Structure 1
Amino acid sequence: MARIYLDAIERRYGSVVAIEDITFEVPDGEFWVLVGPSGCGKSTILRTIAGLETATSGNLYIGDRLVNQVPARERDVAMVFQNYALYPHMTVAENLAFGLRMRKTDAKTIKARIETVAQSLNIAHLLDRKPKQLSGGQQQRVALGRAIARQPQVFLLDEPLSNLDAQLRDDTRAELKQLHQRLGVTTVYVTHDQVEAMTLADQIVVLDQGRIQQIGSPQTIYARPANQMVATFLGSPPMNVLSAVYQDGQFQVEGQAIPCPDRLRKQLSSTVSQSSTAQRFNLGIRPEHVHLAESSERPLMATVMVVEPLGREILVRTVLPMETSGAAPTISLQVAPETQIQPGDRLPLVFDLEHLAVFDPTTGNNLSLA
């Protein structure tokens, strides 16, 4: 096992920059997740660590060894691909043993490793079958088992659950977490699924357009996003974002007022232009922090568009009335399952102001971070 350290890694394809200034360190034994929209550079980073891509500039270390010029086969990493990449003409046992045989491991050790891994992944009864006789979940376990049997320093997983159905994906995600807790191997996992990122990671690296947007624990990134991209990418349903004008200690959203809490007034004081009486910002609030107003509260009035029962809660999508032409601002909120709400209803909404975020509309930076 070993740490992974990327120091200012860049990868170019001609004039196209795939990843730029990628710097982070995965400590020995931790599980890190790279997450972001399609094309953000996640897989390029993973393939660069594996040695399947060559960095245009920067340095890459596995353990204390600089591996820029070390070929993939000598990096002591094991990679699990999205399509599993099993050999169709081999049995499960032969697939599990393949990497060990390539390293000329003795037969006794191979047999012992295969038995241990197969028992661990609950595939011992499948050893004589070929991949075409397996379900998607079973194939995924075999691909993982082949990587585990090698006992590498580093695991690299490139969207290994994306081909599974929803229930099997949930079950296998839990198994993956238990497996990492048992083995303690340094792991880098790529996904575009924010639920996988939040539930699996010790630390999350959020990427967009080839650059790192934020690195942090799942809870930190969810509660204190560095910018609007991070805030809206992580969270289901996503964070509500409303364009607002700040003036006289309050925000105006389509003619309706939202009070500015004291903590934000202090933080915005250095940002608001002294030469202007009003300035525009984007407000962010998560659906769980939007509530139906009590009689004593000053609400925003919104009209219900869609009601989505989800069992333990109801997701309500509303729209604010527009003062001008353009797309009407929408606000989603979660209410108790017994709440009686219908499309077309007018709802009085209030925000939990302690959780209100303010984003710079130009840079996207979160101005509400202390």
Structure 2
Amino acid sequence: MARVHLEDIKRRFNNVTAIEDITFEIPDGEFWVLVGPSGCGKSTILRTIAGLETATSGKLYIGDRLVNHIPARQRDVAMVFQNYALYPHMTVAENIAFGLKMRKVDAKIIQERVINVARSLSLDHLLDRKPKQLSGGQQQRVALGRAIAREPQVFLLDEPLSNLDAQLRDDTRAELKQLHQQFGVTTIYVTHDQVEAMTLADKIVVLNGGRIQQIGDPQTIYASPANQMVATFLGSPPMNILPAIYKNENFDVNGQLLAIPSFIKENLPLRPGQSIDLGIRPEHITISTDSELTTQNFLVEVKVVEPLGRETLIRVSLPESTILLNVQVAGDMRLHPGDRLSLQLDLHHLFIFDPKTGDRIWPQP
């Protein structure tokens, strides 16, 4: 096991900068997740750590060793790919043992590790099967087993669950967390799935456009996003964004006025006519009994109803507006498209963003 330290890493491909100013340090034994939309640079970072890409500039340490110019095979990392990369002509046991045989590990040690790893992954009854005889989840566990058997300093996982169906993905995600708790190896996991990021990570690195947007534990990033990109990317359903204008000491949202609470007004200087983006998560919106429009509520129309069992997600729009809001209500509430509702926002959980930069201006950083 080892810490992983990236210091001002940049990777360019011809005239395109894939990642820039990437700096963070993963302590020994922690599970970090790199998350962001497609093309944000997360896989490039992972491949750079693995040695499959070469950093254009910056320093990369695994443990106390600078590895910029050390070949991938000598970095003592194990990578699990999205497509599993199993050898179809080999059995499960042979696939798990492959990396050890390539390193000329003693045959007795190989046999012991294969048996132990297979047992920990519930693969011990499948050791004689070929990959084509396995389910997708079983193939994924074989790929993980091959990485674990090597006993590397660092695990690198590149969207390993994306080819699995929803239920199997949930089950395998839980297995991954248990395996990390069992082996305690420094792990770096790449995904675009924010649910995987939130449930697996000790720390999350949110990326966009090849740059780091925020680093923190899942709850901190969810509760205190640094900017609008982070706020809308993490959370399911995502944070609602309402374009607004500061007008007569109120927020004007598409013609409906929302009173600004004193604790914001006294601490956040706003200019008359200033454009802002208001952010509010679906769980901080409630249906009001007040059917009259006031500066304490919004009148909306239900557009879509999505029953989810214990709760129902509704999508509503402001009158004569394309602005849609996600709202979570109790699962037994009967609503239909076209219904008119009055909504109240919990302004203690309100975020305000600069619409030009996307930076959060409230709560103040």
Matched with 1:220 is 220
Cα deviations by residue, 1:164-202 (Å, 9 ceiling, x for unpaired): 000000000000000001111000000000100000000
The alignment of Structure 1 onto Structure 2 pairs a total of residues equal to 361
Q: C-alpha separation between the residues in 1 aligned to 2:22 and 2:235?
A: 24
* Aligned residues: CA RMSD: 1.2
Please point out which of 303, 307, 322 is paired with 1:309.
Answer: 307
Q: What's the counterpart of residue 290 of structure 1?
A: 285
Instruction: Kindly indicate whether the alpha-carbon contact (under 8 Å) linking 2:290 and 2:342 is maintained by their aligned counterparts in 1.
Output: no
Alignment-mate amino acid for residue 317 of structure 1: R
2:317 to 316, 319, 322: 319
Unpaired runs of 5+ residues, structure 1, are: none
Q: 3-state DSSP class of the match of 2:145? A: helix
Q: Which of 326, 332, 342 is equivalent to 1:332?
A: 326
The equivalent residue for 2:89 is 89
CA deviation string 1:286-343 (max 9, x = no partner):
1111101144973210011011111011111111013xxxx52111101111212111
2:44 aligned residue: 44
Q: Write the mapping of 1:154-165 to structure 2, written as runs, cut at 5 A.
A: 154-165=154-165
Q: Distance in 2 between matches of 1:239 and 1:353?
A: 14
The TM-score, its normalising length taken from structure 1, stands at: 0.96
- What is the CA–CA distance in structure 2 between the aligned matches of 1:340 and 1:95, rounded to whole Å? 53
Determine if the alignment matches structure 1 residue 61 to structure 2 residue 85: no
Answer yes or no: is the 8 Å Cα contact 2:302–2:314 preserved in 1: yes
Deviation of 1:267 after TM superposition, in Å, equals: 4.0
Specify the code of the residue in structure 2 equivalent to 1:52: L
The 2-side partners of 1:93 and 1:329 are apart by: 55
- 1:236 shift after superposition: 1.0
Give the SS at the match of 1:28.
Answer: coil
1:252-293 deviation per Cα after TM superposition (whole angstroms, max 9, x unaligned): 101112222233224421xx34xxx22110011111111011
Amino acid at match of 2:317: V
Report the Cα distance in structure 1 between the residues aligned to 2:267 and 2:8, rounded to whole angstroms. 32
- Choose which of 352, 359, 364 in structure 2 pairs with 1:365: 359
Give the counterpart letter for 2:219 in structure 1: Q
Q: How does the TM-score come out when normalised to structure 2?
A: 0.97
Residues 205-248 of structure 1, C-alpha deviations (whole Å, 9 max, x = no match): 00011000110111111111111111111111111101001133
Structure 2 residues without counterparts, runs of 5 or longer: none
Counterpart pick for 1:299 among 297, 305, 309: 297
- Counterpart code for 2:208: D
* Secondary structure at 1:367 match in 2: strand
Aligned pair 1:351/2:345, yes or no? yes
Indicate the larger mover: 331-340 or 287-296: 287-296
The percent of aligned pairs where both chains have the same amino acid is: 70
1:250 maps to which residue? 250
